[in-house]
Amino acid sequence: MVSLWGRVVECKRGWRASHAYPKIIYVPTTRSPYWLRAQRPQEIALALTDYGVPVELLDTDNRHPGQAVAALGPEAARG
């Protein structure tokens, strides 16, 4: 999820903004194709804490990013 500000425009496939910053970062533990395990997702998540926002591991076997967002619930899809 990200916070958007400045000039914000709703587009056909999402939102665009002149400024953005993450509210939370999700690190998938799998990657496409879904049976490949991501290498060291915990280390990646730890490195991302430098942004000063929550970082969570996302353990999902979904193949498409849209399915992963849907699994997070309506708040994530809305941003």
Q: Quick count: other Cβ atoms within 10 Å of Cβ 68? A: 17
Instruction: Supply the pTM of this predicted model.
Output: 0.63
Residue 33 has phi, psi (to 5 degrees) of -65, 155
| Domain that includes residue 7, residue range | 2-78
- Among the ranges given (3-7, 16-20, 66-70), the one the predictor scored with the smallest mean pLDDT: 66-70
Taking a C-beta distance cutoff of 8 angstroms, is the pair 34, 63 a contact?
yes
Maximum distance among all Cα pairs of the chain, rounded to whole angstroms: 40
The single-letter DSSP state of residue 59 is -
Average pLDDT score, the chain: 80
Total domains in the chain come to 1
pLDDT at 33: 59
